[in-house]
């Protein structure tokens, strides 16, 4: 099974070629992470394991704070070290109060979803996921540090490449648990210990790898950077993803099953106009999962509209124009994801019946 690592390396090389310009930011993104925070404050927490974690909190709700669900939303972040010991922020949207701004009753806890961004996309570019916090979820988005990476055309090195990894996902999980018990943390005592991992594009690939431990370890020398002796954290109980697959169009076909725990649910969302991760690629990966699994294709949705900014449609992007409004794409995605999360993390049987799906035929 050595071909898995080779296939992944080829696949990531192709993804970088496709995303290097298409998903590159506009260079002004660093000021957007907290653009909706009204009165920022900074607090420092010392954790028992010896790491020093800083977090910045918003005193008010972010955009859409009470628009969708029963909770007002707070925004904060915590820092942890990446594999190079460089502090890395994780953006956190969390239920701060009831919608009328009254206090959430004592003892109420919430599950979490950790979202891994696409290649070269800032975590803050997925702020639309804040809506999930209004429905009682802690949303965590690690904002990957840039890593100098050789350009695929041999023209030098891009110092601002942002590549997510299983290592980052694993560290985010562990540090979320730490942050949830840190004295003074905004989510202290509110995390119920359940996590659904998720991701977009390259982030979805890393989410898949984090479930299939053997594939992760086999690819440890590739950009996936799987931690040595990696084992999926037991608090990860479900996976949902958008616009992602585990197929390499320039390499040999891979038909091995994607191993996952029994009864570990996977929800795959694609767009009919996604020219970056096509239906065939996504379904080829989907067909390698064991049950339980659900596939859902959003008619008219494309790849880049799942981020908070519009990048010019160019040849490198290889995306297609969406045939639905961006707001419709995001609202549809949020409704589908919420049904999946309510079903799997809150045992809501009505939500289980409401999860939208499509016939997974190639």
Q: What is the mean pLDDT of residues 250-279?
A: 85
Top pLDDT among 34 and 206 is at: 206
For 76-107, the pLDDT digits (tens) are 999 888 777 878 889 999 999 999 999 999 99
Comparing 26-30, 93-97, 242-246, the range with the smallest average pLDDT is: 26-30
What is residue 88's predicted lDDT score, i.e. its pLDDT?
84
Report cis status (omega within 30 of 0) of the bond before 238.
Answer: no
Instruction: Round to whole Å and give the CA distance between 118 and 335.
Output: 21
For 209-218, the pLDDT digits (tens) are 888 887 787 7
What is residue 339's predicted lDDT score, i.e. its pLDDT?
98
268's CB contacts (< 8 A; 6+ apart) are 240, 241, 244, 282, 285, 286, 293, 294, 295, 296
What is residue 44's predicted lDDT score, i.e. its pLDDT?
28
| pLDDT band per the 50, 70, 90 thresholds, residue 326 | very high
The DSSP call for residue 231 is: -
Q: CATH code at 343?
A: 3.40.50.1820
Instruction: Round to whole Å and give the CA distance between 92 and 127.
Output: 10
User: Tokens representing 251?
Assistant: 């390499």
What is residue 121's predicted lDDT score, i.e. its pLDDT?
78
In a domain, 359, yes or no: no
Cα atoms in the Cβ-side hemisphere of radius 13 Å centred on 225: 15
What is residue 56's predicted lDDT score, i.e. its pLDDT?
40
In a domain, 362, yes or no: no
With a cut of 60, say whether residue 322 has pLDDT above it.
Answer: yes
In a domain, 326, yes or no: yes
User: Tokens representing 64?
Assistant: 């859409």
Which residue's structure tokens are 């639905």?
Answer: 324
For 122-175, the pLDDT digits (tens) are 778 899 999 999 999 999 999 876 555 565 566 666 555 556 678 888 889 999
Q: Please tell me which of 43-47, 160-164, 331-335 the model is most confident about, judged by mean pLDDT.
A: 331-335
Domains contained in the chain, number: 1
What is residue 13's predicted lDDT score, i.e. its pLDDT?
44
- Name the nearest CA neighbour of 93 among 44, 140, 143: 140
349's CB contacts (< 8 A; 6+ apart) are 343
Bridge partner list, 114 = 140, 197
In a domain, 55, yes or no: yes
Comparing 54-58, 62-66, 265-269, 305-309, the range with the smallest average pLDDT is: 62-66
In a domain, 361, yes or no: no
Query: For the chain, how big is the Rg over CA atoms in Å?
Result: 19
Q: What is the mean pLDDT of residues 309-320?
A: 60
The DSSP call for residue 283 is: H
With a cut of 80, say whether residue 311 has pLDDT above it.
Answer: no
Backbone angles phi, psi at 157, to 5 degrees: -125, 135
In a domain, 90, yes or no: yes
**Longest alpha-carbon distance in the chain:** 58
With a cut of 50, say whether residue 58 has pLDDT above it.
Answer: no
Alpha carbon of residue 247 to chain centroid = 19
What is residue 238's predicted lDDT score, i.e. its pLDDT?
98
In a domain, 61, yes or no: yes
What is residue 316's predicted lDDT score, i.e. its pLDDT?
46
In a domain, 360, yes or no: no
Sheet of 293-298, strand order = 41-46, 52-57, 71-81, 87-98, 138-142, 110-116, 191-200, 236-242, 266-271, 293-298
Instruction: Round to whole Å and give the CA distance between 85 and 70.
Output: 39
What is residue 97's predicted lDDT score, i.e. its pLDDT?
98
Domain encompassing residue 239: 3-354
The answer to whether the beta carbons of residues 30 and 16 sit under 8 Å apart is: no
């Amino acid at each position: 099974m050595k071909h898995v690592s080779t296939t992944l390396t080829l696949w990531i090389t192709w993804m970088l070629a496709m995303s290097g310009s298409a998903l590159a930011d506009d260079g002004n993104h660093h000021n957007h992470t907290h653009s909706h925070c009204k009165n920022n404050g900074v607090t420092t927490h010392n954790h028992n394991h010896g790491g020093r974690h800083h977090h910045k909190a918003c005193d008010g709700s972010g955009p859409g704070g009470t628009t969708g669900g029963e909770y007002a939303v707070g925004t904060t972040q915590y820092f942890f070290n990446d594999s190079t010991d460089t502090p890395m922020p994780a953006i956190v949207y969390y239920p701060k109060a009831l919608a009328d701004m009254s206090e959430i009753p004592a003892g109420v806890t919430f599950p979490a979803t950790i979202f891994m961004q696409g290649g070269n996309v800032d975590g803050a570019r997925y702020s639309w996921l804040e809506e999930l916090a209004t429905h009682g979820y802690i949303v965590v988005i690690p904002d990957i540090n840039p890593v100098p990476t050789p350009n695929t055309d041999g023209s030098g090195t891009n110092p601002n490449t942002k590549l997510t990894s299983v290592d980052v996902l694993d560290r985010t999980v562990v540090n979320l648990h730490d942050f949830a018990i840190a004295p003074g943390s905004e989510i202290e005592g509110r995390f119920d210990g359940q996590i659904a991992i998720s991701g977009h594009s390259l982030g979805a690939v890393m989410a898949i790898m984090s479930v299939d431990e053997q594939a992760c370890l086999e690819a440890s020398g590739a950009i996936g950077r799987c931690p040595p002796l990696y084992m999926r954290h037991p608090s990860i109980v479900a996976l949902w993803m958008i616009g992602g697959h585990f197929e390499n169009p320039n390499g040999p076909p891979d038909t091995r099953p994607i191993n996952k725990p029994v009864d570990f649910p996977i929800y795959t969302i694609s767009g009919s106009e996604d020219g970056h991760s096509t239906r065939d690629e996504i379904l080829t990966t989907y067909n390698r999962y064991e049950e339980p699994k659900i596939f859902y294709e959003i008619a008219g949705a494309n790849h880049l509209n799942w981020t908070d900014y519009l990048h010019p449609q160019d040849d490198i992007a290889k995306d297609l124009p969406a045939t639905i409004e961006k707001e419709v794409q995001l609202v549809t995605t949020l409704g589908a994801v919420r049904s999946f999360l309510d079903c799997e993390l809150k045992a809501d049987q009505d939500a289980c019946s409401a999860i939208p799906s499509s016939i997974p035929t190639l």
